Amino acid sequence: MAAKYPRLFNKWMYLLLSLLIALLFLAIIFTSQNKEDNSNQVLADANQPPKQEGRKEEKTPHIEHTHPAFTQRSKEREKMVARQIQARDVNDPDVLKAMRIVPRHAFVPDSGQRYAYDDHPLPIGLGQTISQPYIVAFMTQALKLKPDSKVLEIGTGSGYQAAVCAEIAAEVYTIEIVEGLAKSAKERMKKLGYSNVFVRAGDGYFGWAEKAPYDAIIGTAAAGRVPPPLLEQLKPGGRMILPVEGRFGFQHLVLITKDQQGNLSRKNVMPVRFVPMTGEVTKPEKKSPK
């Protein structure tokens, strides 16, 4: 047939070859598309926060973020978290989320608004300060808070640290020895919608015994020693972090953990500089009778 109808044969061969080329071209496109999709999926998975094994997926406390401050200056908070916090190995996704949400400028006096997201502490009046964002994040991460955690804070100040903890934990009890600061912090928490933060004026040395025990205790003023009542109010399995002043006036953040049998372990984790704790802790330590 090929010899008898050469033109017809060539025409059919040409069509068949064209069809094969078209099918091959489509197969190449399809394979490339699948590879690109798979690559994009890998990248997407890599950008997701790692799942924490052994940690229950529980709902965080319901906080109404309806105050205008939560939507203001959000880009500054994103930059703060990226440059000041993540870059220094604070990587707990709950802590990073809380630092992005809490509007630090709402806890800073008008005179310091332009510096609200800078990498340093700021004065809040009455001789007190709001801590550096990195230190707030570092201390919060050290507590390993969970959605059902109950937290005690010693030294409310403006309330910023309490708000960050409240974004993660179920309840935060915070004590401020300066009555004026305690009052303004309480009003600020109510205005911002932190119904799970409870503020009280008093000496943090004695803790808040009627609400004990606590899963976590955090101190934001430096003492010469760890107040014994706080150790008693820490739940077995709990964690405490606070600045302690040692010899020659040097301060360190001290991480204290209590095991299920009630045994305590202590570790210096970072040199710091906090305002001094006042009240009972400044009195000479009573020596137990022999």
At residue 251's C-alpha, the angle toward residues 248 and 256, to 5°, is 130
Output b/e per residue, 206-239; b: 16+ Cβ within 10 A.
bbbeeebbbbbbbbbbbbeebbebbbebbbeebb
**Residue 36: phi, psi to the nearest 5?**
-65, -40
Helix (H) or strand (E) holding 173: strand 171-176
Residue at 188: amino acid letter: R
DSSP 8-state symbol, 223: B
- Number of neighbouring beta carbons within 10 Å of residue 148: 14
Give the integer Cα–Cα distance in Å for 129 and 252.
Answer: 18
Write out the catalytic residue numbers: 131
At residue 125's C-alpha, the angle toward residues 123 and 127, to 5°, is 80
User: Which sign does the torsion angle of CA 254, 259, 261, 267 carry?
Assistant: negative
In a 3-state reduction of DSSP, which class is residue 104? helix
